[in-house]
Each structure stands twice: as structure tokens, then as C-alpha cells.
Amino acid sequence: MKKYFKTVITEGVLIGLVFILFIGRVNAQTAMINVQARNTTSLNGKWTVILDPTGAGDYKQVWQEKKPQKKTDFVEYSFEGGPELDVPGDFNSQLCELTYLEGTVWYKKQFDYTAKPDRRLFLHFGAVNYAADVYLNGEKIGSHEGGFTPFQFEITGKVKNGENALIVKADNRRLKNGLPGYGYDWFNYGGITRDVNLIETNETFIEDYFIQLKKGSLNTVSGWVKLNGANLQQSVEIGIPELNLSRKATTNEEGMAYVEFKSAFKLWSPENPKLYKLVIESKTDTVSDEIGFRSIEVKGDKVVLNGSPIFLKAVNIHEENPYKRARAFTDGDNRLLLEAAKELGCNFVRLVHYPHNEKMVKQAEKMGLMVWSELPVYQHIQFADSLVPQKLETMLNEMVRRDKNRCGVIVWSLSNETYPGTPNRNEALIELTQKCRALDSTRLIVHVMNTHSYDNNTFNVWDPLYKYSDLIAVNEYIGWYIPWQGKPSETRWNVSFPDKPVFISEFGGEAKSGSAQGPTDEAASWSEEYQETIYKNQVEMFGNIPNLCGVCPWLLFDYRSLGRMNLVYQNGYNRKGLISENGEKKKAWFIMNEYFKRK
Ligand code: GCB
């Protein structure tokens, strides 16, 4: 009898646990695209917060907002009386006591709503770093993991008429099996870092579309439109007024319509970043966008834009406004970074090491900058962890879905500096490559590696994963992490896939700007002269690299990274910027600028 009860109780507890875990893990939906073109109500602005560095809020169930019911009651939390934070915006840079927080902040926003018949309502987040649990009027509506991509929840029927309380738990603790994992060389800005919107739609709406030139073509668009809702079979029309172009198609029972059409497009390029207004109309919805048309390919050992080889003059950029010491997200932040890239002479920006905000990508496209967009698959990822493959796939979907209509994006970068010896690394990244190609076959798909050896002034680049990368993207750092072994002009490159274009995705070294004139041969001087010498030597070596299709210095601005603890020179900053965090150009900037002018 005793045993029977024990079994029943144990099973009951187990079922309960599974139930709680299941309920606790209602995942967010992948967001509809092009939020800017939708019927939105912004929930940006001041949100009240509870700071929860010890993680007590889950146990206390702060989302219930309990109030004392009788005179002897008390509740040990309240949003009332708490500080306010700006949304969007990272929490670390807004309150002194949050500067180094890697933990939880609970956010609360009240909003009014009046339900309208036959309308659906979605709650859309541009990004929350890293994990988000979202509660509406005391009920959990779901969770999302991943700090740099959008997600949404449908809240039709869950939202009340009148006042509603939205509570978000934002937790930026690092996870061993997260993307990125424990270790990374940038500042872990946490919180609701991008816009929050309510989006109202009709019952059936245009959820997604893909309108880009077919791979290799300069005049043929191949694409699709996808509806979401009850009335999935409709006629849809795609129009480009400037070209007097309009095409009709009918969606199938899954809501998909496939289209293919030709036109004499003025092609998008860095010299002429031409965008067309495009309108997609169904019976129940209209969405407009600005779309450019270009083709990007690897042909032999060349990168070819619109049919002609192009040299990629790039720079690495982190999503940080150096002057604000904060995560970048405003139009002003984006322009600051992109204008600095333009001034350096770039036609390409590598936005590292995670998808940057959507407006940044749009802004780059308008300015004629090609964009490299990257997943936060960085160094020591736990590829053998059973949860990681699903996380990889979700993040890939979210990144590609959001920006696949941005012709400025020419590269999906799926990983940075992962290691051949890491269990399941090759299998996981090969599968991810195939999934990416199935989602979008029009762009280059790249893995960045630093698998190399340097002997007798010969730099050997090898990694089996390069087979699956359209570019041999190499982070090399000769002259900084790896001392020169001979004259740079005599350095030989031996690349294990000799037919592919080689892109130097990172090189450089550190310098503290304004440091007194220092030696050119002493790294520990952190002198601008030492950094300048690295750049001079690199430029000299570039001439020897077979199939070189572009170079990308690490990086534009000095940026915050807490592992950089030399208090004389670094003080929490990675000093490999060509420009300091105060905007001073270092000597190496001029070497790069000169090189780009020549290319
Ligand atoms: C790298 C990483 C980059 C680092 C850089 C450095 O190889 O890709 O994220 O920050 O080196 O400064 O060491």
C-alpha cells in the first residue's frame, strides 16, 4: 500500500513537473517581417522595473502583482516605487547599479486596448538579450531565447478591453549551451534592447515574402508571398509603380504564392544604391517595402556583384555606440557607425558577431554598404548538447527571415572561430549550412575560421568546414597574436581550398590612442606606432595572398570588453579599433584608408 502511494505520488509529481516545464516553455513565434510597414502601436518608452540580481522574482511570482488582501498581509515585491528604464535600450548603461549585471530585470508596461471585431493582435519584440519570459495580465504567454533576433506572440483574445499589464523577465545570464556560450569578447548588454510594438492585422494578413533576383540573374525576380490566417487562398498582387510593373498570383491552401517576373531593373550597387518602392496586396492586407535588386555570386576565385568582380573593402563593427557606452539602436547610433565605415573607404560592413538591429541593415543598404550578417555562433559552442541544434536552427530562421529582402545583405555568416576538434561541430555546422541554403539560395554562406599554422613564414590555412563556406574567411592577426616569421612581403599563403576566394575577415592589433610616441617593435607599449606597423606589414602581405577578394580590419571603434584588463592601456576596452571610443582616428586608420583608396 505504502509502495502504491509512493509510486502514485512520484508519478504525479513527475507529470506535474513535465506539465510545468511544458507550460513554461511555450515558445515565441517567429516574427512577421517588415514591422515598420504594419499597423503598429509602439510600447517603447519608460517601463517600470524590479531589479532582481539574485533571481528571486520567479519564486515570488512577481508577474502576479499580488496585493495585500487583509491587514496582516504583505507582499515582498512591487513595481510601484521602482525605477524606470527606457525601452528600447540595454539596462546596463541606464542605471549605475546595473553596469555589470548579468542577471534578471523584470520590466512592466501598462497599455490600453479596445478589441475590434475581426482583428488580430500581436506583441512584437525587436530583441531581448538574452532570454525573455513574457506575461500578460498575470498569465505567461511564452518565452524566447536569443538576444539579437525578433519574436512575437499572438495575443488576440488574451488582451483585455481597457488596461493591460505586460511584464517581461529579461535575463542576460550566459548559458553554457547558449548562442553565444560562456565566453565572448564583447559587452553583454542585457534587457529589452530593441523596439516593442503591438501589431494589429486583419484575420488574414501577409506574414512574409521573399522578393529578390534569382541567383545569377540580373533581370529575373523569383520569389514568394505567404499569408497567415483563415482565408489562405487569395489572389495577391505585387507592384513596382516606378517600373509600371504588376504581377498577380494565387496563394495555395498553405497561403503560399510563387512568383517570377522580369524587368530591366536599375541594379543596386555601392555606387548606385537604388531601391524601388514595392507594394504587395492581397484581398485582406497591403504591405509596402523598399527593395533593391542585385546579384551576388562566387565565380571561380572571384566575388561577383551584378556580373562584375568586386573587391570587398570592409570593416568589422560591433553594435555599440562608443560615445554612449551602450548598445546601439537609434537611427543616430546606426548612422554614426556606418558613416565612419564610409569615411574609412568601405563598401562592405561585417556586422559582428550577432544580427544587428533591423534599421542598421536598412540604413547600410540605403548608404550603398553591402552587409555581412552573422549568427552568434562564436568560438566554444556546445555543439554536442542536445538542445543546441534546435537553437541554431531557430536563430538561423529568425535572422534570415527578417532580412532576406535586404539586397544590401550579401553574406549570411553562420559561425566565427569554431574549432574542428569540438564534438559535433562539423556535423552541426554542415547541417546549418544546408538549412540556410534551403531558406535562401541567393546569398553567400560563410564560416569564419582561425584554423591555421604558420611555419617558415608560410601561413597555412586549413579547416574541413571551408568546403561548406563560399569564402575562405580567415581571422589571422599576424603581427599581434602571431609574431611575423620573416618579411611580410615574403610571407607565403598556402590555402587548402585553392579555388575559392579568400577574405581576411579579421586582422589588426591594439593601440591606446594618444599614447606618447611609442616604439614600433614593442606590442606591450600599446602604441599607435606599433599598430600602424602591423597595418603597414599586413598591406604589404596582402599582395601575396592568392585569390584575395577583400579585407576587413578588426575593427572600427575601440569597444567595451570586460576581459581586457590591462588597466593602463585597456581598462575594459578592446583597443583594436582604428578609432578610439572618443572618436580619435589612430595612425593605422590612415594606412587602411590609403589602401582602400588604392583598391
Ligand atoms: C577574434 C574574434 C573577435 C575578437 C578578436 C580579438 O578573433 O573573432 O571577436 O574580439 O579576435 O580582439 O582578439
Instruction: Dump pLDDT digits (tens) for 169-187.
Output: 999 999 999 999 999 999 9
Q: Which residues of 28-58 are buried (b: 16+ CB within 10 A; e: fewer)?
A: bebbbbbbeebebeebbeebbbbbbeeeebe
Q: Among 458, 376, 420, 25, which residue's Cα sits nearest to residue 177?
A: 376
Q: Pick the atom of ligand 1 nearest to 352's CA.
A: 9
Residue whose CB lies within 8 A of the most ligand 1 atoms, among 419, 475, 565, for a mutation test: 475
What CA–CA distances, in Å, run from 11 to 5, 24, 25? 10, 19, 21
Ligand 1 centroid to residue 417 C-alpha, Å? 9
- Cell numbers for 293: 535588386
Rounded CA Rg of the chain: 26
Q: For residue 305, what are the β-bridge partners?
A: 296, 308
Check whether residue 220 and residue 188 sit in a common domain.
no
Ligand 1 pocket, 348 CB below 6 A? Answer: no
Q: Among 401, 209, 407, which residue's Cα sits nearest to residue 293?
A: 407
User: Which amino acid, one-letter code, is at 149?
Assistant: T
Check whether residue 330 and residue 246 sit in a common domain.
no
- Residue nearest atom 3 of ligand 1, based on CA coordinates: 185
List CB contacts of 503: < 8 A, sequence separation 6 or more: 303, 312, 446, 471, 472, 473, 474, 548, 549, 550, 551, 552
- Cell numbers for 234: 487569395
Q: Among 278, 303, 262, 300, which residue's Cα sits nearest to residue 443?
A: 303
What CA–CA distances, in Å, run from 569 to 86, 438, 511, 516? 32, 46, 8, 12
Q: Tell me how far apart the alpha carbons of residues 294 and 217 are, in angstroms, rounded to a whole number.
A: 8
What CA–CA distances, in Å, run from 457 to 314, 454, 520? 26, 6, 20
Q: How confident is the model at residue 6 (pLDDT cuts 50, 70, 90)?
A: very low
Ligand 1 centroid to residue 481 C-alpha, Å? 10
**Max CA separation in the chain (angstroms):** 87
Range of the domain at 147: 26-202
Per-residue pLDDT tens over the stretch 286-308? 999 999 999 999 999 999 999 99
Ligand 1 centroid to residue 477 C-alpha, Å? 9
Q: How confident is the model at residue 25 (pLDDT cuts 50, 70, 90)?
A: low
Residue whose CB lies within 8 A of the most ligand 1 atoms, among 506, 569, 573, 578, for a mutation test: 506
- Whether residue 41 is predicted with pLDDT greater than 70 in this model: the reply is yes
Per-residue pLDDT tens over the stretch 479-489? 999 999 999 99
Ligand 1 centroid to residue 560 C-alpha, Å? 12
Q: Tell me how far apart the alpha carbons of residues 321 and 329 are, in angstroms, rounded to a whole number.
A: 8
Cβ pair 141, 152 in contact under 8 A? no
- Whether residue 580 is predicted with pLDDT greater than 80 in this model: the reply is yes
Tell me, yes or no, whether 299 lies in a domain.
no
- Whether residue 22 is predicted with pLDDT greater than 70 in this model: the reply is no
Ligand 1 pocket, 505 CB below 6 A? Answer: no
Helical (H) or strand (E) element with 559: strand 559-560
Q: Among 204, 223, 226, 224, which residue's Cα sits nearest to residue 214?
A: 223
Ligand 1 centroid to residue 437 C-alpha, Å? 27
Tell me, yes or no, whether 17 lies in a domain.
no
3-class DSSP state of 93: coil
3-class DSSP state of 3: helix
Number of domains in the chain: 3
Ligand 1 pocket, 207 CB below 6 A? Answer: no
Q: Tell me how far apart the alpha carbons of residues 357 and 198 are, in angstroms, rounded to a whole number.
A: 18
Check whether residue 326 and residue 435 sit in a common domain.
yes
Cβ pair 284, 205 in contact under 8 A? yes
Check whether residue 195 and residue 240 sit in a common domain.
no
Ligand 1 pocket, 475 CB below 6 A? Answer: yes
| Parallel/antiparallel/unpaired status of strands 256-262 and 302-305 | unpaired
- Cell numbers for 356: 544587428
- pLDDT score at 515: 74
Of 169, 187, 202, which closes a domain? Answer: 202
3-class DSSP state of 123: strand
Ligand 1 pocket, 510 CB below 6 A? Answer: no
Q: Pick the atom of ligand 1 nearest to 417's CA.
A: 8
- pLDDT score at 516: 67
Q: What percent of the chain lies above the pLDDT cut of 90?
A: 94
Q: Among 193, 223, 196, which residue's Cα sits nearest to residue 208?
A: 223
- Residue nearest atom 9 of ligand 1, based on CA coordinates: 185
Ligand 1 centroid to residue 449 C-alpha, Å? 11
- Cell numbers for 498: 585553392
- Cell numbers for 354: 550577432
Ligand 1 centroid to residue 185 C-alpha, Å? 7
Ligand 1 centroid to residue 135 C-alpha, Å? 37
The CATH number assigned to the domain holding 68 equals: 2.60.120.260
Cβ pair 207, 32 in contact under 8 A? yes
Ligand 1 pocket, 318 CB below 6 A? Answer: no
Helix axes of 331-344 and 358-366: crossing angle, nearest 10 degrees: 40
Per-residue pLDDT tens over the stretch 79-132? 999 999 999 999 999 999 999 999 999 999 999 999 999 999 999 999 999 999
Q: What percent of the chain lies above the pLDDT cut of 70?
A: 96
Tell me, yes or no, whether 13 lies in a domain.
no
Q: Pick the atom of ligand 1 nearest to 448's CA.
A: 8
Check whether residue 414 and residue 313 sit in a common domain.
yes
Tell me, yes or no, whether 18 lies in a domain.
no
User: Which amino acid, one-letter code, is at 457?
Assistant: N
What CA–CA distances, in Å, run from 586 to 25, 95, 593? 48, 31, 11
User: Which amino acid, one-letter code, is at 271?
Assistant: E
- pLDDT score at 13: 45
Q: How confident is the model at residue 517 (pLDDT cuts 50, 70, 90)?
A: confident
- Residue nearest atom 4 of ligand 1, based on CA coordinates: 185
The CATH number assigned to the domain holding 230 equals: 2.60.40.10
pTM (predicted TM-score): 0.96
Check whether residue 475 and residue 403 sit in a common domain.
yes
- pLDDT score at 379: 98
Ligand 1 centroid to residue 307 C-alpha, Å? 33
- Whether residue 17 is predicted with pLDDT greater than 90 in this model: the reply is no
Residue 29 half-sphere exposure toward CB, CA atoms < 13 A? 13
Q: Pick the atom of ligand 1 nearest to 555's CA.
A: 12
Ligand 1 centroid to residue 326 C-alpha, Å? 19
- pLDDT score at 473: 98
- Residue nearest atom 10 of ligand 1, based on CA coordinates: 185
- pLDDT score at 324: 98
- pLDDT score at 433: 98
- Whether residue 522 is predicted with pLDDT greater than 90 in this model: the reply is yes
Given the C-alpha cell 559582428, which residue does it identify?
Answer: 352
Tell me, yes or no, whether 488 lies in a domain.
no
Q: Pick the atom of ligand 1 nearest to 475's CA.
A: 7
Check whether residue 189 and residue 256 sit in a common domain.
no
Ligand 1 pocket, 570 CB below 6 A? Answer: no
Of 273, 294, 315, which closes a domain? Answer: 294
- Cell numbers for 412: 549570411
Tell me, yes or no, whether 5 lies in a domain.
no
Cβ pair 573, 560 in contact under 8 A? yes
Ligand 1 pocket, 476 CB below 6 A? Answer: no
Q: Tell me how far apart the alpha carbons of residues 326 and 376 are, in angstroms, rounded to a whole number.
A: 19
Check whether residue 214 and residue 173 sit in a common domain.
no
Q: Among 477, 415, 495, 497, which residue's Cα sits nearest to residue 449?
A: 415
Ligand 1 pocket, 285 CB below 6 A? Answer: no
Check whether residue 196 and residue 211 sit in a common domain.
no
Check whether residue 384 and residue 437 sit in a common domain.
yes
Cβ pair 298, 215 in contact under 8 A? no
User: Which amino acid, one-letter code, is at 231?
Assistant: N
Q: Among 466, 462, 478, which residue's Cα sits nearest to residue 551?
A: 478
Tell me, yes or no, whether 552 lies in a domain.
yes
Residue whose CB lies within 8 A of the most ligand 1 atoms, among 184, 185, 377, 564, for a mutation test: 185
Check whether residue 275 and residue 141 sit in a common domain.
no
Ligand 1 centroid to residue 555 C-alpha, Å? 9
Chain centroid to CA 283: 34
Ligand 1 centroid to residue 514 C-alpha, Å? 23
Reduced DSSP (H G I as helix, E B as strand, rest coil) percent helix, strand, coil of the chain, to 5: 20, 35, 45
Of 182, 202, 222, which closes a domain? Answer: 202
- Whether residue 15 is predicted with pLDDT greater than 60 in this model: the reply is no
- Whether residue 20 is predicted with pLDDT greater than 90 in this model: the reply is no
Ligand 1 pocket, 574 CB below 6 A? Answer: yes
Q: Tell me how far apart the alpha carbons of residues 268 and 580 are, in angstroms, rounded to a whole number.
A: 33
Check whether residue 321 and residue 279 sit in a common domain.
no
Tell me, yes or no, whether 74 lies in a domain.
yes
